[in-house]
Chains A and B, each alone.
Chain A
Amino acid sequence: MSLDTALKVGTPEDVSARADAPGAEVSQAHEPKGLVARFGPDEPLAMDAGVQLAPFQIAYQTAGTLNADRSNAVLICHALTGDQHFAHTHPVTGKRGWWETLVGPGKPVDTDRYFVVCSNVVGSCMGSTGPASIDPATGRAYGLDFPLVTIRDMVRAQAMLLDRLGIRDLFLCIGGSMGGMQVLQWAASYPERVFAAMPIATGPRHSAQNIAFHEVGRQAIMADPAWAEGRYLEAGTRPAKGLGVARMGAHITYLSEPALHRKFGRRFQGGSAPTFSFNADFQIESYLRHQGLSFVERFDANAYLYLTRAMDYFDLAADQGGVLANAFKGTKTRFCVMSFTSDWLFPTSESRAIVHALNAASAPVAFVEVESDKGHDAFLLDEPAMFAAARGFIDAAARARGL
């Protein structure tokens, strides 16, 4: 009987043997596909941790054309393990852009009408400065020497990118999950620069349960000896098992029991199961292992630590004396908040908390709860009800802005 009890990394015949050594996932950190804005020592990023990060760079992608008035810019904010390739083939996986369901010619975020920008967040590993980047002070990767990143830092860096691109204000700022947190932070930090905002499947703060899930993921990474106290790039190893397990756990939180049941149920993998072993008998086990393994091909473990931490620290009300409504006081931004019925990571109650605060601040806010059994990830998937609501909101906002 073949042993198939753990994530198969490090065995020579395994396809992911290359996962043992730093590879594709950090190559993008240094030489990303797409556009890069570089900020020198004279333009540091002022981070919440008290550090002036310099030099640093922001990797980004665009679609569509900026109009003469520079009034049709859309900023897409990506989620935890997302990237700037929203409508572009992924440089590592070869997959299509992650939000081509929503964004593209004739789509609700219409690239024939709008100039769409998406940048890799600071602290990530797809070309913007993060823990896998080279620290100019030491000549080696930052690793855990990289300052802790917050959602507000990500947004500050995006604002610097827009300044660089000559975009004074955004027609629309849109994103889901951690992207939604950035949208809320944009609306709070730069209300005059956001005409319309769509925070999707997100919340005004990271809940205790969500912090708990993240902590399990981080501990899995740090428990992997190959993590080497964060110095795996110099050690020539990588914590693929730890990161894979972190991804497996997190991936469950992105789905829902009905979706898992529909897709996998209790079905066995292959014909000979049960094998009376700890092999991946069930389809769901095999699926999760695949998710874990394919993730380590494209993502840096330390970046995962930093970005999960950024989400954990997010609490918009805490920055406002505990009153969330104060974050939106006097705002003229029009909001469309969206949640999904089966999302238990950012349940509808989180979106309602945003809506109530916006109401209390007299902000113009629309709210839709989309019926879906696909869980948190629904915002990335083909959800006609979401598209219909998004199209209605965005088209009306465009009319109001004279686009």
Chain B
Amino acid sequence: MTGPVAQAHRPWETAETLPRAEAGDTRVDHLVVLDLVPANARVLDIGCGDGALLALLRDRRGVDGRGIELSREGVNACLARGLPVIQGDADTDLANYPDDAFDVVVLSQTIQATRNPRIVLEHLLRIGRQVIISFPNFGHWRVRSELALRGRMPVTALMPEEWYETQNIHHCTIRDFVGLCRTVNAEIEKATALDARGRPMRFAMPWWVWNLMGAQGVFLLRRGAAGSNA
């Protein structure tokens, strides 16, 4: 049921334009985000951890970056990098930001850990003119095989905790997420899947391949035209 929507936007076909993995310590998924963020943009990174992505965006794109991070250790690391980061949480703090406060809002590997992903996504689309969102794909073949063949909840590099310890309470597949985008009237500008090593998958493929082979999905969204979801 998400197929027609996804194909209508042909979201995966832009994947080839995404950057190849670069040498060095920089996380490949951060480089993917780097490529999507325009120079000098105002960026909010929600769940920004130690601020590595924000620092990268500041140093390479000259962005005016802000962050929200749950852990005090993360906030302190961000302070030491000179990043304006507030201790807070996506479920409760986004409501306080005004509309269009940022050019780009980034939510990296966090939506599956929120209490209310739909409301969070709606806030992201309201606060940011563009939204970059990445999440572990629960439709990945390894996840499926863990469930189908071993009958166990999967533990992977992107989902490293056992089910009884994980913060992730709202897993979804790439296809599920495309469905949510339609529900909240989000327009998919670009999308790609990253393989298990975090590298963008190179060739344009049908959506079901991404849903099976992608370890994580990365989406660039914006608010859909007003009323089109009525």
Residues of A within 8 A of B (CB): 334-337, 352, 355-356, 359-360, 362, 364-371, 385, 388-389, 391-393, 395-397, 399-400
Contacts and interface: CB of A to CB of B under 8 A. Distances in A.
A109 to B, nearest CB: 15
14 contacts: A336-B79, A359-B66, A359-B97, A360-B97, A366-B83, A366-B85, A371-B72, A389-B79, A392-B78, A393-B79, A396-B80, A396-B81, A396-B82, A400-B82
Interface in B44-93: 64, 66, 72, 75-88
Nearest to A356: B96
A369 to B, nearest CB: 5
A239 B10 CA distance: 80
B98 interface: yes
Given A370-B72, A389-B76, A397 B82 contact: yes
A369 B87 contact: yes
B101 interface: yes
A368 B76 contact: yes
A334 B72 contact: no
Contacts of B83: 366, 396
**Interface residues on chain B, size class:** 20 to 34
Nearest to A388: B76
Contact of B78 (A366, A370, A371): A366
Contact of B72 (A352, A385, A399, A400): A385
Contacts of B82: 396-397, 399-400
Nearest to B77: A392
Nearest to A363: B84
A327 to B, nearest CB: 16
A169 B79 CA distance: 23
B72 A392 contact: no
Contact of B87 (A360, A362, A367, A396): A367
Contacts of A356: 96
Nearest to A396: B82
B100 to A, nearest CB: 11
A311 B204 CA distance: 64
Contacts of B75: 366-368, 389
Given A389-B75, A392-B79, A393-B79, 12 more contacts: A335-B84, A355-B86, A356-B96, A359-B66, A362-B101, A368-B76, A368-B79, A369-B87, A371-B72, A389-B79, A392-B81, A396-B82
A364 B66 contact: yes
